[in-house]
Structure formats: structure tokens, C-alpha cells
Structure 1
């Protein structure tokens, strides 16, 4: 299982939100590049980046910092937030990002996902953010009519190989992930599921591992010290 340390970028800084609310922001570092280097030095095998400004505005806002992060580490980087056209996707992949995560654009424009997956294969990931089992979009500001599981199945059918599944109600709350929802998602699909949202302890990571997820994104718990990355990596290896 892979542990993905999360770096959420807002106005050039490394931050965390609570339940995806842009009004509830904590800045953890003024230097996301240093943060990425730190996680790599501690043994991370993959970095999870989110352009929060991009998620809200629908266009990549922090691309210079993202390029710098990619250049400064030798491990792969996956990126989500504001990537809504095939040109955006190409530009990010050309800049060295290993995988691109499509969220709002996947809901609004499944044809984009289909085209991107046909062209870029496993480098295209779909991020499914759920609120009460329904898919949320636009930086979590709106909720669509799709159920998370049925939408994931649809993405699988059109060629997506990996889903990042986030339960928004748990995100940034340090109250533990929604294990039942994660298990249901893994059991419903034949593709990889990466769990995101709510990880607050090593025991959460152990519980998620039992569901069969391919990886776990850990954000706030790393920044508050609730979870040590070194210990999390050990649990993932066991």
C-alpha cells in the first residue's frame, strides 16, 4: 500500500482546509517545495499535490510552484485542482507531473476523461469527493446528483485505472476515515482506489489497509504530528 503525503497549495502556501471550506484555512508552511523535499527525505514514494486555488477557479493557479516541486524531488507527483481541459492535462504531464487527477471536469465532462484516458492511460486519475454518498464538485462547493459508487463504475467503464475517493465530511477533521464507504467503493470496482479524508492515526491506516485500498492520502495528521510519516510507511509495508 502506498502512503501519499498531501500538499495542498493556496496562494503559494502549504495549507489545510477543514471539510473543504475555503473559509477554514490553516497555513502549515510558506514553502511547499521544502515540504515536498521533507516528505521525500522521510521516505515517501509518491507526493499528492492539490492546487486549491485551481479547484475553486477552474484553472491552474499555482503552476510555477508545482513545476518547482516536481523538479526538486525524484519521486513521482500526482496533481489535482483546476485541471479541466486536455490542454491543461498535457501541459501538467509535460511539466513532469506523473499523474493528473480530474475532479469537477470528470463530472461535467466525461468525454474529456474518456479522451484523456485513451491518450494517457494510467496517468489519468479521477478524484471522487463525496458528501453523504453524492459526488461534490467545484472545490466541494456544490453537490451533483451522482452517487459516488455509480459514478466510479462509470469512470471504470471509460478506461480510468485509479480513483481517489474522499469523504468530505471527514476531511481535515482528524476524526477517522469512513471505513465502510471505502470498503464499499473497493468492493464495487476492479480498479485501484486511493483513500482520502479523515486519517488521524496509525490505526486508521491499518483499518484502511484491510479494505484493500491501493493507497492512503495523509494530510492534516502529518502536519499536526498525529501521524509520523516514517511509522505510516512501516504500517503500509507490513
Structure 2
């Protein structure tokens, strides 16, 4: 299982939200590139970067910073947030990103998802963000009609290989991940499932490994010091 340190960006700064609320923002650093270097130096094998401005607006607001992170680090970087067309995917992948995450666009525009998967294959991941079991879109501010598992099965049939599965109710709350939801997802699809949301300590990470997920994104717990990245990597 891979641990993905998370860097969420608003207005060029490293931030964390609680339950996806843009009205509840904590700033943890002014320089995302320096933060990325820090996590790499601690032994991270992969980095997860989200353009929160982009997730809300539908445009890649922090693309320059994100591509600077990718060019600076030796480890691969995946990114999502506001990626709504093939041109943006191409810009990111040609700019050095290892993987691009489609969220709202994968829900609303199957044709684009199919085209992206055909062209870029395993460099495309799909973010499935669940609110009360239903897929949320537009920066988590709206909910679709799909359950998370139904949607995962559909995109798996289209050729998706990796999903980032977030339980919004747990995100940024440090109350532990939704282990049952992660286990259900891992058992129902043959995808690489990267769990996200709620990790509060090392025990949560070890417990998530038992659910069958292939990776875990750790955000707020790293910034508060609840999780030591070096210790977590050694533990798993």
C-alpha cells in the first residue's frame, strides 16, 4: 500500500478543508513546492495534489504551481481539481505529472472519460467522492444520482484502472476513515482503490491496509503531527 501525502491548494497556499467546506479553511503553508519537497524527503513514494480553486471553478487555477511541483520532485505526482477537458489533461501530463484525476468531468461527460482513457490509459484516475453513499460533484457542493460502487463498476467497464475514493463526511475531521465503505469498494471492483478521508493516526492507516485498498491519502493528520510520515511508511 502506498501512502500519498496530500497538498491541497487555494490561492497558491497549502490548505486543508473540513468536510469539503470552502468556508472552513486552515492554511498550513505559503509554499506548496517547499511542502512537496518536505514530504519527498520524508520518504514519500507518490504525492497527491489538489487544485481546490479549480475543483470549484472548473478551471485549472493553480496549474503552474502544480507543474512546478512535478518538475521539482523525483517522485511521481498525481493531481485533480477542475480538469474538465482533454487539453488540460495533455497540459498536465506533458508538464511532468504522473497521473491526472478526473472527478466531476468523469460523472458528467462519459465521452471525455472514454477518450482520455483511450489516449492516456493508466495515467488517468477517477476521483469518486461520496456523500451519504452518493457521488458528489462540483467541489463536493452537489450530489449526483449514482452510488459510489455503481459508478465505480461503470467506469471500470470503460477501462479505468485507479480510483481515489473519498468519504466526504470524514474528510479533514481526524475521526478515522470509513473502513466499511472502503472495504465494500475494494471487494466490489478490481480497481486500484486509493482511500481518502478521515485518517487521524497510524492505526487508521494499518486498518485501511486490511480493507484491501492499494493506497491511502493522508492530509490533515500529517500537518497536525498526528501522523509521522516516516513512521507510517515503515509500519506498512
**TM-score, length-normalised on structure 2?**
0.99
1:113 matched to 2:113: yes
Residue of structure 2 in register with 1:209 after alignment: 209
Structure 2 residues not aligned, in runs of 5+: none
Give the secondary structure class of the aligned counterpart of 1:118.
Answer: helix
Aligned twin of 1:173: 173
**4+ long deviations beyond 3 Å:** none
- CA distance in structure 1 between the partners assigned to 2:163 and 2:111 by the alignment: 17
Counterpart position of 1:135:
135
**Shift, 1:231, TM fit:** 1.1
Q: Is 2:52 aligned against 1:21?
A: no
Please give the alpha-carbon distance, in whole angstroms, between the structure 1 residues aligned to 2:163 and 2:65: 25
d(CA) in 2 for partners of 1:159 and 1:94? 22
User: How many residue pairs get matched?
Assistant: 236
Offset at residue 110 of structure 1 (A):
1.3
In 2: Cα distance, 1:231 partner to 1:138 partner: 35
1:207-231 deviation per Cα after TM superposition (whole angstroms, max 9, x unaligned): 1000111100000000000000001
Structure 1: which 5+ runs fail to align?
A: none
Provide the residue aligned with 1:184 in structure 2.
184
What is the 5 A alignment of 1:23-62? Answer: 23-62=23-62
CA RMSD of aligned residues (A): 0.5
Deviation at 1:234, TM superposition (A): 1.2
1:117-139, Cα deviation, whole Å (9 max, x unpaired): 11101000000000010000000
1: CA distance between counterparts of 2:110 and 2:232? 35
**For each residue in 1:163-209, what CA deviation from the matched residue of structure 2 results, as whole angstroms up to 9, or x when unmatched?**
10000000000000000000000000011100000000100001100
User: TM-score normalized by structure 1?
Assistant: 0.98
Q: Distance in 2 between matches of 1:68 and 1:77?
A: 11
Partner of 2:92: 92
Name the structure 2 match of 1:4. Answer: 4
